Amino acid sequence: MPVSEHFLFTLSSVKTNQNPIMDPLDFITILIILAAFFLLMNQRYLKLPSTIGMMIMALSLSLFIIFGEAIFSALRTLATDMMTRYDFSDVLFQVMLSFLLFAGALEMNLAKLGEEKWVILILATLGVLISTFVVGFAMYYLLPLVGIKLELIYCLLFGALISPTDPISVLAMIKKSAVSKNLESQIAGESLFNDGIGVVVFLTILHIALAGNEGGVDPLEVGMLFGQEVVGGIALGALFGYLGLRLLLLIENEYTEIEVLVTLSMVLGGASIAEMLHVSGPLAMVTMGLFVGNQGRSSELANAAGEYVYKFWHLMDEAMNAILFILIGMQIIVIHWKLDFILAALIAIVIVLIARFIGVGIPIGLYRLGKHVPKYTIRILTWSGLRGGISVALSLSLYEYYKTGQMPEDTVNLITVMTYCVVLFSIVVQGLTVKRLFAKATDARLEEKQEAAPQPEEVAE
């Protein structure tokens, strides 16, 4: 189903059921009510970053439903029906991700992004690949310690889906941070681009896994798949972004409704065509957003779209962000939990952090050879690399292959539990503590400036 139909009628694809407990409109209504209520409670009482506040309250509601099943059995039935009837991976990939990535890219400062382009490029490509293989091989050798044997290709598949940082979580976190603009551009730029690269790596390894089960892997076909997704996604985004920008330049800013419709058409049309052409939708959305964004541009291009266009996309960003993290928090209701899976998840949390440190440390170490890198850069990039809805959606998308007999059920359940626990730790623990690291980095930057400033004796001479 085209993305436009999803947007007009529902946030997800509906699974067939003769006696549905709730229809799509009920589902959307409940999500919007919860989002509004949780945002209000967070702003009034918790005062946490919105992503963390949404996640904690959704988790609390889910646990209340689970442990209160004896008293509120109807509520548990309703919640389970809601979370199983609607495919979370479709909700994210076919609707929400396109809107969120485009909105995130709109707010990027193109000039600062250009200054940090090499760091971002290396982190988004080499960093993701390093992390994927470190996680994959480490889990392959460590999982037997808790009595689990998982094939190497599936360990690498887990490494691929958990390695990219989630731009939705990261962008929400750094909006109110005090880090330097250059470091902010590195963190935000990497999260926007490594998301698209990570999805492509995941699809490539998934293709190898499925082809291996069917009896053969063609390296040339795998390479062409990777190239088609990456190059095709960027090219499609550049084409739509350029055409959209030219249209916006022709429209007077007072015609706000037309400008909004143009940007909506870019996102919905671009996502539909990316799906048809089998190219990377996330990379296309980011590229389009960078074309239209107004920060760090010449005055003519910066004024291509009026301020209400950016207000509209900011509203879309905040609303969908809230809904997304409610959905993530409530996934705990339908995940299959086992003790050995939880032990594997604890190992995964540690391994993913180590892999992130290596995946960031090697590229930044190489970059340091030719340019000064501020203190705490590697530690900040490591700890601020939050995982989120994209990783959860990728893991849940594997259930399709279990249902068709292409992947073992326990393998899919294990990957889902490990992914969910890593995401939960990432958003709650890392998200709540990263501000302290930002503060240390800011203090270190001020000390460096003071040391570099000429002393009074030197000025006198």
Distance CA 417, CA 384 (A): 22
Percentage above 70 pLDDT, the chain: 87
Say what angle helices 50-67 and 167-174 make with each other, to 10 degrees. Answer: 120
**Cβ–Cβ under 8 Å, residues 87 and 12:** yes
Query: What pLDDT does 419 receive?
Result: 95
Considering only 202-216, 278-292, 318-332, which range has the smallest mean pLDDT? 202-216
Specify the higher pLDDT residue, 449 or 107: 107
Instruction: Tell me the C-alpha distance between 271 and 267, whole Å.
Output: 6
Per-residue pLDDT at 17: 41
Round to whole Å and give the CA distance between 57 and 59. Answer: 5
Q: Name the β-bridge partners of 86.
A: 14
C-alpha distance from residue 184 to each of 99, 172, 325 (Å): 21, 12, 23
In this prediction the pTM is: 0.84
d(CA 290, CA 189): 11
What are 12-60's pLDDT values in tens digits? 343 434 444 567 778 788 888 999 999 999 989 988 888 888 889 988 9
Query: For residue 456, what pLDDT band results from cuts at 50, 70 and 90?
Result: low
Band (pLDDT 50/70/90 cuts) for residue 457 is: low
Report how far residue 136's alpha carbon sits from residue 359's, in angstroms, rounded to the nearest whole number. Answer: 13
- The first and second tokens of residue 202, run together, are 């995941």
Of the candidates 284, 250, 245, 247, the residue with the CA atom closest to the CA atom of residue 267: 284
Q: Please compute the mean of the pLDDT values over residues 246-257 and round it to a whole number.
A: 88
Which position has the higher pLDDT, 24 or 159?
159
State residue 388's pLDDT score.
84
Asked if residue 195 has pLDDT above 60, the reply is yes
Q: What percent of the chain has pLDDT over 90?
A: 31
Cβ atoms of 168 and 388 within 8 Å: the answer is: yes
At 11 the pLDDT is 36
pLDDT class of 451 with cuts at 50, 70, 90: low
- Name which residue leads in pLDDT, 185 or 418: 418
**Cα–Cα distance for residue pair 378/384, rounded to 1 Å:** 10
Burial label, 24 (beta-carbon count in 10 A; 0-12, 13-18, 19+):
middle
Q: What share of the chain is helix, strand, coil (3-state, %, to 5)?
A: 80, 0, 20
Tell me the fold of 89-449.
Na+/H+ antiporter like fold (1.20.1530)
Average model confidence (pLDDT) for the chain? 83
- Comma-separated ranges of CATH 1.20.1530.20 domains in the chain: 89-449
Cα-only R_g, the chain? 22
Interval 353-368: pLDDT, tens: 999 999 999 988 887 7
pLDDT in tens, 328-385: 888 888 888 899 999 999 999 999 999 999 999 998 888 777 777 777 889 988 998 8
The string of pLDDT tens digits covering residues 121-142 is 899 999 999 999 999 999 999 9
Residue 166 has a pLDDT of 79
Note the pLDDT tens digit of each residue in 78-126: 777 777 777 777 777 777 888 988 988 888 888 888 888 888 889 999 9
- What is the predicted pLDDT for the residue at 153? 94
